[in-house]
Amino acid sequence: MSDPSPTDPARSADGPPSGPSADGPSTVDRRALLRLDGVSAGYDERPALRDVTFAAHAGERIGVLGPNGGGKTTLFRTILGELAVRSGALDRAADVAVVPQTDRSRLDFPVSALDVVLMGTISRRPWWRRASRADRERARGHLRAVGLQNRADATFGALSGGQRQRVLVARALARDARILLLDEPYTGLDAASAERLDRLIADLADAGHALLIATHDVAQCRAWDRVLCLHGRQVAFGDPVETLTTDVLAATYGEDLLRLDRDGGLAVVTDHHHG
């Protein structure tokens, strides 16, 4: 990752660090793909999430931290357009796709990895049109991009958790989405699979995607470009190293257990079960 200027944690939705976006042939377009300004959203009268203001630029990996019920899912559903914005403004300059947790899908449903990736192409065709040969070739290309070109014909449910997660990333790529929302993608992965996913996420950022990654892993967030802390409202947004202070984490996780690990860094222990 090459960030042209030192990051300022106070910067929120004020645009890219390097001035106007039309600044010549950069390899990665740095304009904001997604911009939220004072967004509140929720399921009924009472918003589940308030006062969210941040921007996601091409090439950024943004960790989204917060307790279960803290608004991560609400945020994703709002960005996807499934929940109405109750106040504030939300601007999307690119398509959005979600990479859900793999255990949300039916593992006993007899589809191949390629079938799953092809689901990402549905919205790009008229409703009566089936996937074409070109669609299938592109889908295989997306499987190649996530390192699974040899498992195209494998049954989705028979793949490992890490492979399934990467198939779902390929499906999001098939959607032609430049904004990717990953819902706790590391849940249940072993160390090797997690590292592989880490590299994939870095590659996607380098390729100009903006990634929002919901996670409970504070240490992991420190390695990314931005962090967004939610607890029913936006607690903080900014450069992870400067943002993730004890105070911010306490405000983010509230009652959840905080402990100091050996190196003096903070770790959060939460119930990983999703409601």
Partner 1 sequence: MSATLTTVAGALGPLLDPFDGEIMRRALLEVLLLGTAGGLLGTWIVANRLTFTGEALPHAMFPGLVGAALLGVPLVVGGAVGLLVAAVLIALASRIETIDRDTAVAVVFTSLFGLGVLLALSPDSPAAVRALLFGDVLGLTDGDLLVAAGLTTVVAVALWTLHPRLTATAFDRSAARSFGVRPGTVDLALVALIAVATLVCVQALGNLFVAATLVGPAAAAHALGRRVAATMAIAVALAVLSGVGGLLLSFHAGTAAGASIALVTVATYLVVVLVARVPFRRPTGHPVGR
Q: Beta strands 32-41 and 49-57: pairing type?
A: antiparallel
Judged by CB under 8 A, the chain residues 139 through 168 that form the site for partner 1 are 155-158, 160-161
Q: Which is nearer to partner 1, 12 or 163 (CB)?
A: 163
| Stretch of 96-104, 206-214, 250-258, 264-272 contacting partner 1, by CB under 8 A | 96-104
Q: Which is nearer to partner 1, 38 or 100 (CB)?
A: 100
Q: Shortest approach of partner 1 to residue 236 CB, angstroms?
A: 27
Q: Shortest approach of partner 1 to residue 65 CB, angstroms?
A: 22
| Stretch of 1-9, 25-33, 115-123, 190-198 contacting partner 1, by CB under 8 A | 115-123
Q: Which is nearer to partner 1, 90 or 251 (CB)?
A: 90
x/- string (CB under 8 A) for partner 1, residues 56-95? ------------------------x-x-------------
Q: Which is nearer to partner 1, 1 or 158 (CB)?
A: 158
Alpha-carbon distance of 89 to 81, in angstroms, equals 12
Give the residues lining the site for partner 1 (CB under 8 A): 80, 82, 96-98, 100, 102-112, 115-116, 118-120, 122-123, 127-128, 130-131, 155-158, 160-161, 171, 175, 188
